Structure 1
Amino acid sequence: MTRKTNLSLRAQGNLSGENVMLEGVIRVNANKFDEAANPDGIINLGVAENQLMKAELRKIMGKVDHVDPKLFGYGESPAGSKQLRRYFADNIFNRYFKPQEPVRVEDIVLSAGCSSTVDNFTFCVCDEGEGILITTPFYGGFNTDIAAKSKAKVVIADLGDISPFDPAHLELLQHAVDKSTEQGIPVKAMVLSNPHNPLGRNYPLEILLEYLRFASRNRIHILFDEIYALSVFDHALTGVAKSEQPAENPFISVLSIPHLEQHCEKDLIHVAYGMSKDFCLNGFRCGALVSPWNKDMIDAMHSIAVFSWMSSTTEAMLTRLLADGKTVDEFTSTNQKRLAASYTFAVDTLRKHQIPYLPAQGGHFLWMDLRQYIPPAFKAAAAQGDRNQEYLLWRAMLNEGVYVNLGAAFSERKVGFFRLSFSVPIPMLELGLKRMLRALQLTYDPLRVSTASTTATTTTTPAVVAGNGTTLKK
């Protein structure tokens, strides 16, 4: 069916674009699992939404009068009140990110979610048709954040079989920039998620420094997406989950790196953050851009902040949450311990069923390899890049009542990788994993499905290499 053409070309372009995550999200939201009200609903292990801290949030937020008449009017500023920005500076960035120079209130612009922050950043650094560089695999939402409104282009540096944590991949960045320029798409910025989404690991210092030097050589902005900074949980792991972690590799905020000017012009360096992940508030919509060394960027973000203004109620509740540093400390510590517990349960289950995965350090998810469940008749096609078999597994899981996000959503080149979000209570996670395992076995060999098919014994097998070149545990 031909669409009506009485819309702008920008809008028509958005309507014709494909969002591979949309089908699953629509199905989940239309039939959400609820242990009491809808036990047959779909368990969401696909969206990075932390459900582990609801009781604590309810206790803290319950102290805010959400019908206070003061909240009925406009807030102090579309970029966030000075008080809330001060709490962001003092009780998040200066408290946890170890900045070499204290973050100030005037360095921060708030918006209605980190997606809005990335969208506004893109608007400020790119004209229509210009590019922002990202390496594979990457958070699929960046495609929309960068392109839907600002009409910039996502320039993909396909790493193939090289890990993004391997210095060897850096050679591919310049190739991607040069190729994009030849095609008439000048690259104006790059985005780096640290901790990595979807791989759940921290970048080592040597890679961060190389990225800074790369940005400097090409005179492009570099946006560090550090939205999972306080969801790093590997220090709380024990047992096998702890032992399989590689050498210690802590989260390093770019703000904490000394002598940044020796590696990159500081006016090119920016940080994006938000309340969705570390504070389990996806629905509250609050993002932050920190740009301590570029007043023009801050002023430009202020100039369009009115279009992404947080509600007064959201601002009041976040102000209450962040007002007390001790409350933030307790919340963060408890959250990390619960993430570690759910992660441990997830990897113990995957290990038991011999499903390869990349050990995660932070975030709400891990990267797993389900290629062994592609039916034998279709393995050759999948190895050649036929994504139909990935969709087959994905829809089979949806039909069994569990949503897991497929690799195509993250621009993963190899077919059969999935991101599993484990940040839900363990009883819900256990049921979701059972449904996932049943769906996989049904897809691979429906004639052999039985109760025993989801109770495989543990065996020791070699590690395999993921599509991104990282070593997975099996």
Structure 2
Amino acid sequence: MTIKTSLSIRAQENLQGSNIMLEGVIKANANKFDLEANPNGMVNLGVAENQLMTEELRTIMRTVDTADPKLFGYGESPSGSKHLRELFADNIFNRYFNPQTLVRAEDIVLAAGCSAIVDMFTFCVCDPNDGILITTPFYGGFITDITAKSKGKVVPVHLGDMSPFDMGHIQLMQNALEKAKLEGTTIRALVLSNPHNPLGRNYSSEVLIEFLKFANKNKIHVLYDEIYALSVFDHALTGKAKEEQCVSHPFISVLSIPNLEQYCDLELIHVAYGMSKDFCLNGFRCGVLLSPWNKELVEAMRSISVFTWMASTTEAMVIKLLSDPKAIDTFTKTNQQRLAESYTYAVDLLREHKISYIPAQAGHFLWIDLRTYIPSSFVSAASAGDRAAEYLLWRNMLDEGVYVNLGEAFSESKVGFFRLSFSVPLPQLKIGMERMIKACQKTVSFVPV
């Protein structure tokens, strides 16, 4: 018996798949850039990891006694202590998301990160090979979150040249659902990131409501990923960065929409959140599922939460951070201001080099168009969907010492788009973008042998 054949079918399926996003992350983390200790290391502009609030977090976290013997044992519950769930309810959701109905601790399940939340959600609403709709481009991690363990299936809805913020794309979702059904895939849910990842923009209330109507019509769950809710920064922009903003909408949580029951069966509506983005704590692994109207789903997720139990030290430190509403206000406002400053630097440099991008208003990243740097000998193939030029450009960036995430990782059908994360200190951002531009100039002049 070989090692491969001794594995389960699902494990073998996972080994056969590739994860281009993970490949880049591993390369970037193997030789991390440090301005003083390792200036020749890899500048990571590919991961949505906010490094702009490090000192503030150090100040807060220093006050937590991580050697407190109370933290050596199991915590109160694998789905999160009541105290921490109350803090999320009162100091995050009820304070910032403007819910029409107050959120309660019992509506919440906590887990070790939002990837765990999406995996658990998939496990609870999908049988193996049932589908979840997501419009492209979308956060590439959803593929692993949905497929690797729970064996759901991501059904991408390719929009072509239509914007995901336009009402018309709802029909494309309906077409995709019906096509999947004809091919034997039952669609159980759709996932919507608001603010959008990777486009960095908010949906209008009108489009959010159309998603609800679509879900209700087809009797499928809708998971609103609102993990960047407090990272909206366009109000802090000035100058050209402010002027070039297209029609912008404020962040609108699905929880804040009046009369939700008019649009959708409330049991189908759920929200995902976490501490990785708005609070810059990717490594803490703290994810949230909020389902105010579906007690059965909450209990089903709690029944498997022992596998994603947060560490007691993580709970203690997140409790510290979320216990003071005024401190949360100060933290989020400072973070938004710094995101605006880094964003402004990034777009000024992109504009200087005539690199197209979609102006962002939220999140940690920009969606940039590098198709003008595709070598002439690759243009025809790239237009037909061949990704060789995108790989060439991406690997040249890695060779120059910068990691930027390529469009394929976000299921983008058009070749030559990349997601650039700008939420790093300005000296690091400057060096990384200079390396990226150098790689672009190197690529456009490439002549195949």
Q: TM-score scaled to structure 2, two decimals?
A: 0.98
**Cα distance in 2 for residues equivalent to 1:353 and 1:207:** 34
| Superposed displacement of residue 444, structure 1 | 1.3
**Cα distance in 1 for residues equivalent to 2:201 and 2:279:** 19
**Cα distance in 2 for residues equivalent to 1:282 and 1:377:** 41
- Structure 2 partner of 1:136: 136
**Cα distance in 2 for residues equivalent to 1:44 and 1:156:** 27
**Cα distance in 1 for residues equivalent to 2:431 and 2:128:** 46
How do 1:12-411 and structure 2 match up within 5 A? 12-411=12-411
- Structure 1 partner of 2:8: 8
Aligned AA (1:240): K
- Structure 1 partner of 2:426: 426
Query: Once structures 1 and 2 are overlaid, which stretch shifts more, 16-25 or 230-239?
Result: 16-25
Aligned AA (1:244): E
Aligned AA (1:67): A
Superposition misfits of 4+ residues, deviation over 6 angstroms: none
1:7-29 Cα offsets, whole Å, 9 max, x none, are: 00010100100111122111111
1:192-247 Cα offsets, whole Å, 9 max, x none, are: 00000000000111110100000000000000000000001000000000011112
Aligned AA (1:316): A
Aligned AA (1:47): V
**Cα distance in 2 for residues equivalent to 1:22 and 1:131:** 23
**Cα distance in 2 for residues equivalent to 1:324 and 1:84:** 13
1:123-168 Cα offsets, whole Å, 9 max, x none, are: 0100111111111110000000000000011111111111101111
Aligned AA (1:69): P
**Cα distance in 2 for residues equivalent to 1:21 and 1:367:** 15
Aligned AA (1:182): L
**Cα distance in 2 for residues equivalent to 1:40 and 1:183:** 50
Q: Secondary structure at the match of 1:378?
A: helix
| Superposed displacement of residue 446, structure 1 | 6.5
* CA RMSD, Structure 1 to Structure 2 (Å): 1.0
**Cα distance in 1 for residues equivalent to 2:78 and 2:327:** 26
Is residue 447 of structure 2 the alignment partner of residue 440 of structure 1?
Answer: no
Q: Secondary structure at the match of 2:164?
A: coil
**Cα distance in 2 for residues equivalent to 1:446 and 1:161:** 28
Aligned AA (2:32): K
Unaligned runs of 5+ in 2: none
Aligned AA (2:211): Y
**Cα distance in 1 for residues equivalent to 2:351 and 2:76:** 52
1:411-448 Cα offsets, whole Å, 9 max, x none, are: 0000000000000011110111111111111111269x
Aligned AA (1:423): S
**Cα distance in 1 for residues equivalent to 2:309 and 2:302:** 10
| Superposed displacement of residue 187, structure 1 | 0.3
1:375-428 Cα offsets, whole Å, 9 max, x none, are: 111111111111010000000001000000000000000000000000001111
How do 1:455-474 and structure 2 match up within 5 A? none
**Cα distance in 2 for residues equivalent to 1:199 and 1:151:** 27
1:233-265 Cα offsets, whole Å, 9 max, x none, are: 000000000011112311100000000000001
| Superposed displacement of residue 3, structure 1 | 6.5
**Cα distance in 2 for residues equivalent to 1:346 and 1:3:** 48
Identity between Structure 1 and Structure 2 (%): 69
Q: Secondary structure at the match of 1:301?
A: helix
**Cα distance in 1 for residues equivalent to 2:317 and 2:47:** 24
Q: Secondary structure at the match of 2:5?
A: coil
Aligned AA (2:43): I
Q: Secondary structure at the match of 2:27?
A: helix
**Cα distance in 2 for residues equivalent to 1:50 and 1:3:** 40
Aligned AA (1:178): E
Q: Is the 8 A contact 2:202 2:248 kept in 1?
A: no
Aligned AA (2:197): N
**Cα distance in 2 for residues equivalent to 1:7 and 1:279:** 39
1:274-294 Cα offsets, whole Å, 9 max, x none, are: 000000000000000000001
**Cα distance in 2 for residues equivalent to 1:51 and 1:380:** 39
**Cα distance in 2 for residues equivalent to 1:401 and 1:248:** 35
Q: Secondary structure at the match of 2:336?
A: helix
Aligned AA (2:131): G
Q: Secondary structure at the match of 1:230?
A: coil
1:331-386 Cα offsets, whole Å, 9 max, x none, are: 00000000000000000000010000000010000100000001111111111111
Q: Is the 8 A contact 2:390 2:416 kept in 1?
A: yes
Residues 144 and 446 (structure 1 numbering): CA distance in 2 closer, same or farther, change over 3 Å?
closer
Q: Is the 8 A contact 2:129 2:185 kept in 1?
A: yes
